[in-house]
């Protein structure tokens, strides 16, 4: 049933149905917990295919503060890439989401680390922020020692795993890094190998915040949210529909609008679920002085829903939320429903 598959799509990303594709949650810049640097303002733009953030930071002390500013991606499970489509660049590339950054308007060089982890067992109740705070057991050194590439290019990884010596294969198995299946080639069942680790990327640079001064940092990157086939009926009746209704605060008017928009295609469309971890802002000193969030749903016929107060429509496809002295207490979870084209 498509409806059951949709429930899996929206709430069980590591085990996506055939009509869905995986993606990654988004976040902002991280810094070691500090009482020295305050975030005076944050201007956040979230679109279906782009995220852009401009911060104004102030060093509230009388001494320069230097440290690593980090932008992390959540772990990308290689096994998920083997079992479902994924909303990322095909194959691999060094700058996976085309991340760029500038300080006071000047582009800066950004370093990229690739780290391999064994993630904790998936749980539907695990907070988004834990993907960044506790991504899993670091197995990078083991992979490097065994000459296993730190890539999300599945073919490169499986080629290396198949080419391993018996001793190497035993070590990989002992460390819980892969499952090997010898298969039955004589009866048409080929050997298989399944990598069990995930790859995460961390973009970072060393930044000095001058004593008593402000600094403007802007970063931008491709948004790669999960999504897939989506059905809706109004009023929602099934349990999974009610879970969606609650999670994304789909009110009665929005529910009717989604059903009407999808009616020409028998109630079927496409949905994207955009997650953004806001609580990283709490690692800086005090609340965000001035916060503005701009959401762009991409096209006038698309329907957007999220749990937030004070959402104002500012254009044909854009919505805005403003806050003063803002301390985020929850992360953003956004639903965007698109009618099928053609």
| pLDDT, tens digit, 9 for 90 and up, residues 36-95 | 999 999 999 999 999 999 999 999 999 999 999 999 999 999 999 998 888 987 778 889
Supply 25's token pair. 């949650």
Cβ atoms of 226 and 20 closer than 8 Å:
yes
| DSSP annotation of 92 | -
Nearest residue to 201 (alpha-carbon basis) of 175, 217, 222: 222
Q: Coil, strand or helix: which one is 42? A: strand
With bands split at pLDDT 50, 70 and 90, how would you rate the model's confidence at 216?
very high
Please give the DSSP secondary-structure letter assigned to residue 49.
S
Nearest to 333 by CA among 225, 217, 191: 225
C-beta of residue 42 within 8 angstroms of C-beta of residue 288:
yes
Question: Percent of the chain scored above 70 by pLDDT?
Answer: 94
pLDDT at residue number 2? 32
Asked if residue 194 has pLDDT above 90, the reply is yes
Predicted confidence band at 342 (pLDDT cuts at 50, 70, 90)?
Answer: low
What does the pLDDT average to over 202-206? 95
Give CA–CA dist 264/255, Å, rounded: 16
Helix or strand run (H / E) with residue 169: helix 166-174
Q: Please give the model's pTM, rounded to 2 decimal places.
A: 0.89
Reported as a single tens digit per residue, the pLDDT across 227-286 is 999 999 899 888 888 999 999 999 999 999 999 999 999 989 999 999 998 877 677 888
- The string of DSSP codes covering 277-288 is E-GGGGGSBSSE
Residue with the larger pLDDT of the pair 126 and 217:
217
Cis peptide bond prior to 235, omega within 30° of 0: yes
Q: Which CATH number fits domain 2-114+204-339: 3.40.50.2000, 3.40.50.10170, 2.30.31.70, 2.60.40.3680?
A: 2.60.40.3680
DSSP secondary structure code for residue 20 in this structure: E
Reduced 3-state DSSP string for 194-220: EECCEEEEEEEEEEEECCCCEEEEEEE
106-127 mean pLDDT:
91
Supply the mean pLDDT for the chain: 89
Q: Which residue has the tokens 């069942």?
A: 189
Instruction: Report whether 271 contacts 227 (CB < 8 A).
Output: yes
Q: What is the mean pLDDT of residues 118-128?
A: 85
C-alpha to C-alpha distance for 134 and 252, rounded to whole angstroms = 37
- Detail the DSSP E strand segments found in 60-197: 65-72, 76-77, 85-86, 100-103, 106-107, 111-118, 137-138, 178-181, 192-195
Q: How confident is the model at residue 12 (pLDDT cuts 50, 70, 90)?
A: very low
The token duo for 176 is 């819980």
Q: State residue 128's pLDDT score.
A: 79
Q: Which of 274, 282, 288 is nearest to 329 (CA)?
A: 282
User: Does 2 or 199 have the greater pLDDT score?
Assistant: 199
Residue 332: is its pLDDT beyond 50?
Answer: yes
Q: Per residue in 281-291, pLDDT tens?
A: 677 888 999 99
**pLDDT band at 329, cuts 50/70/90?**
confident
Domain residue spans of the chain: 2-114+204-339
Calpha distance 73→118 (Å, rounded): 15
Checking if the pLDDT of 203 tops 80, the result is yes
Mean pLDDT within 5-14: 36
Model pLDDT, residue 1: 30
pLDDT for 89 equals 74
- In terms of phi and psi (left: phi > 0; alpha: psi -120 to 50; beta: otherwise), the region of 165 is beta
Q: Within a 10 A sphere around the Cβ of 105, how many other Cβ atoms?
A: 7
The two tokens of residue 30 are: 């991280």
% of the chain with per-residue pLDDT over 90? 70
Does 337 have pLDDT greater than 90? yes
């Amino acid at each position: 049933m498509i409806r059951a598959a949709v429930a899996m799509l929206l709430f069980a990303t590591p085990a996506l149905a055939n009509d869905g594709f995986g993606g990654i949650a988004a976040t902002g810049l991280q810094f070691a917990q500090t009482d020295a640097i305050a975030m005076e303002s944050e201007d956040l733009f979230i679109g279906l295919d782009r995220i852009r953030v401009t911060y104004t930071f102030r060093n509230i002390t009388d001494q320069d503060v230097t440290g690593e500013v980090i932008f992390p991606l959540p772990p990308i499970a290689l096994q998920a890439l083997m079992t479902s489509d994924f909303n990322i660049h095909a194959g691999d590339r060094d700058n996976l989401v085309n991340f760029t950054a500038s300080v006071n308007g000047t582009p800066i060089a950004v370093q990229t680390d690739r780290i391999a982890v064994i993630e904790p067992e998936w749980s539907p109740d695990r907070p988004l922020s834990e993907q960044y705070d506790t991504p899993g057991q670091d197995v990078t050194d083991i992979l490097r020692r065994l000459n296993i590439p730190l890539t999300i290019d599945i073919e490169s990884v499986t080629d290396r795993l198949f080419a391993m010596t018996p001793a190497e294969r035993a070590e990989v198995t002992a460390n819980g890094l892969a499952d090997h299946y010898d298969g039955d080639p004589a009866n048409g069942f080929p050997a298989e190998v399944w990598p069990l680790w995930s790859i995460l990327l961390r973009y970072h640079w060393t930044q000095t915040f001058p004593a008593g001064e402000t600094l403007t940092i802007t970063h931008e990157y491709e948004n790669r949210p999960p999504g897939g086939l989506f059905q809706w009926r109004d009023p929602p009746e099934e349990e999974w529909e009610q879970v969606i209704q609650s999670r994304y605060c789909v009110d009665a008017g929005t529910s009717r609008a989604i059903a009407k928009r999808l009616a020409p295609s028998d109630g079927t469309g496409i949905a994207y679920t955009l997650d953004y971890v806001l609580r990283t802002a709490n690692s800086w000193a005090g609340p965000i002085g001035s916060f503005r969030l701009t959401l762009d749903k991409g096209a006038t016929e698309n329907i957007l829903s999220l749990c937030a107060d004070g959402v104002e429509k500012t254009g044909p496809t854009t919505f805005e939320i403003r806050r003063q002295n803002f301390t985020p207490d929850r992360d953003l979870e956004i639903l965007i429903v698109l009618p099928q084209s053609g």
